[in-house]
């Protein structure tokens, strides 16, 4: 029997949970041979139907919101589509990442029906900030030391694999990223540091509640492998905790 999912917030309209790394959200063409999906696990745990309103890649862990009615689903999906949801991710990358930067490289769809080169380049923007870094006295690449950074990433747009592709294009691939990362660093973390997962987690979401007059801010803790790594690197002060906060909604923009 599967372990119960961690509930970050629940009311009559929506529920927010911690999606474990490696778990698909729902059945797709990628789900060959898979028997477990977040959607079904949450439905069974709550004993009611749930509706997905956004997505997280399979290897990414973190905060995910589901609606509890079709009306709530429509309103929440619209908020995500219209970029009215603030998102915060933490990622461990190779190298000393930029202190603060806006990554605005357009991205082509990777998994479309046509070859990637034929797909249109779409606007994509991610704000990144280096929170911490570490230098290890281990030669993984061509240098005698290996340096890694803890990056905060806040995507403005929501392209597929956006954070992973943006950081890789900027020269700071996320550890554990088999498609856009570097194999020798991924192997080092897996074999020497006990981290075989993609080191990317959705740790924060904030949006105006679709029915109530408040803004909901969600915080999601890291799983054991990432938490242990943070402690080992001296990054314990950056560990997020599970929680939900209510505040006044964002004011309507003035004309």
Q: Residues with catalytic annotation?
A: 57
Contacts of 94 (CB under 8 A, 6+ apart): 146, 147, 148, 172, 173, 175, 181, 182, 185
Using CA atoms, how far apart are residues 127 and 117, in angstroms rounded to an integer? 26
Contacts of 223 (CB under 8 A, 6+ apart): 20, 21, 61, 197, 201
43 Cα distance to chain centroid: 22
Using CA atoms, how far apart are residues 240 and 222, in angstroms rounded to an integer? 7
Contacts of 28 (CB under 8 A, 6+ apart): none
């Amino acid at each position: 029997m599967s372990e119960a999912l961690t509930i970050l917030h629940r009311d009559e309209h929506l529920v927010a949970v911690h999606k474990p790394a490696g778990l698909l959200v729902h059945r797709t063409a990628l789900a060959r041979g898979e028997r477990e999906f977040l959607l079904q696990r949450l439905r069974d745990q709550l004993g009611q139907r749930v509706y997905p309103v956004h997505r997280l890649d399979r290897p990414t862990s973190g905060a995910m919101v589901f609606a509890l009615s079709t009306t709530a689903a429509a309103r929440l999906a619209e908020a995500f589509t219209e970029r009215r949801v603030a998102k915060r991710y933490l990622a461990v990358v190779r190298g000393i990442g930029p202190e603060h930067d806006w990554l605005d490289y357009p991205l082509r769809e990777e998994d479309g029906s046509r070859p990637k080169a034929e797909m249109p380049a779409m606007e994509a923007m991610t704000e990144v900030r280096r929170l911490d870094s570490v230098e290890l006295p281990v030669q993984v690449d061509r240098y005698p030391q290996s340096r890694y950074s803890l990056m905060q990433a806040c995507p403005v747009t929501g392209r597929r694999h956006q954070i992973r592709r943006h950081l890789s294009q900027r020269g700071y691939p996320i550890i554990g990223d088999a498609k856009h990362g570097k194999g020798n660093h991924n192997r080092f973390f897996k074999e020497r540091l006990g981290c075989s997962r993609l080191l990317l987690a959705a740790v924060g979401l904030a949006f105006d509640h679709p029915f109530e007059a408040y803004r909901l801010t969600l915080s999601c803790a890291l799983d054991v492998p990432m938490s242990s790594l943070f402690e080992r690197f001296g990054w314990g002060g950056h560990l997020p905790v599970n929680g939900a906060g209510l505040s006044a909604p964002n004011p309507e923009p003035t004309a």
